[in-house]
Amino acid sequence: MNIFWTKEKCQEEALKYKTKTDFRINCTQAYGSSIRNKWIYEVCSHMRKNKSYIWTKEFCQEESLNFASRNEFKNKSRYIYQISLKNGWINDICSHMIIIGDLYKRCIYVYEFSDNCAYIGLTSNLDRRFSEHLKKGAVYNHLQKNNIYNFKKLTEYIDVDLAKKLEEKYVNEYKKNGWIILNKYKTGSIGGQKFWTKEKCHTESLNYKTRGEFKNKSQSCYQISLRNKWLDDICVHMVKIRNSNGYWTKERCKEESLKYSTRWEFGKNCISGYSSSYKNKWLDEVCSHMIKN
């Protein structure tokens, strides 16, 4: 029988542990549900905090446990991600994370119900798709009649064209073995996601004035362009914003630091100002107004 981890159950389970690492190791289901539903900060609010501002591997590991994927880690805790990358820790501290596909990679999965019904699908994010099936659609409808099932990942994330062919193959195999197929639509469907060609990326980029704006407002298009090395070509119209060497004077660092109440916030929200303060040994002075932990 599958256990559904509600927020209350996750909170109750989390109270047994002092750190997120202990929580993840001892109850992966509750930890995973907390990550997926973005309850992790709340259910772990009682846990021991690392008060040090020295970016150790252990500190970065603890921060990484707030995220389900490297992409989320990179976007939401960029400074810690970059430190982990620079020090060669990234593979170790992200080993718990979900591996997901993209526009060009899909994996195939199946729901096998105890009444001999099956649903076979393909997705770029298995964890997200599992959650979606519990809210609506053919799987959800069948769960109202029978909630005893086995959820299997049939392939790794593979080329999308191959995945579409294999999905049909698996459907036919299940039919031959006597399973009743719940799929309503033809196999090979990959949803409404847009395939970003270079031309489409260029058209999309024209909506933005800077690469920063492009990256923040059209992440999938930006990442595809970056991966395919199209950025320089498609962003030629954009305004280049770069602080010249020497921009972060002591006075500017002090002014910037006043926006934050802790060094953590300063480092997370203004990497260049924080780094300049640290390199020039101004950090204690420019952060003198901050809360001491």
* pLDDT 10s digits, 29-39: 788 788 878 88
**Start-to-end CA span in the chain (Å):** 45
| Residue 225 lies inside a defined structural domain of this protein | yes
Least confident stretch, 87-96, 104-113, 116-125, 215-224: 215-224
Domain extent, residue 22, equals 7-93
pLDDT, tens only, 187-240:
655 544 456 788 888 888 888 888 878 887 787 788 788 877 888 888 888 766
The stretch 71-98 carries a mean pLDDT of 81
| Residue 86 lies inside a defined structural domain of this protein | yes
Burial (CB count <10 Å: 0-12, 13-18, 19+), residue 164: middle
* Same domain as 217, residue 145: no
Give the total number of structural domains in the chain: 4
* Same domain as 203, residue 125: no
* Same domain as 228, residue 255: no
* Same domain as 172, residue 111: yes
| Residue 143 lies inside a defined structural domain of this protein | yes
Cα–Cα distances (Å) from 223 to 4, 236, 279, in that order, read 34, 17, 31
Confidence label for 241 from pLDDT (cuts 50, 70 and 90): low
| Residue 291 lies inside a defined structural domain of this protein | no
Amino acid at 224: I
Cα–Cα distances (Å) from 255 to 39, 54, 79, 97, 259, in that order, read 34, 23, 20, 37, 8
| Residue 243 lies inside a defined structural domain of this protein | no
pLDDT, tens only, 141-152:
999 999 898 989
| Residue 193 lies inside a defined structural domain of this protein | no
* Same domain as 137, residue 84: no
Residue 102, strand partner residues: 105
| Residue 189 lies inside a defined structural domain of this protein | no
* Same domain as 118, residue 82: no
* Same domain as 60, residue 136: no
| Residue 110 lies inside a defined structural domain of this protein | yes
* Same domain as 264, residue 222: no
CA distance 116 to 175: 10
pLDDT, tens only, 127-176:
778 878 888 889 999 999 998 989 898 988 887 778 888 988 999 999 99
* Same domain as 165, residue 141: yes
Look up the pTM and report it: 0.40
Largest Cα–Cα separation, the chain: 74
* Same domain as 111, residue 73: no
pLDDT at 293: 47
pLDDT at 222: 83
* Buried/exposed 23-55: b ≥16 CB within 10 Å, e otherwise: bbeebeebbbbbbbeebbeebbeebeeeeebeb
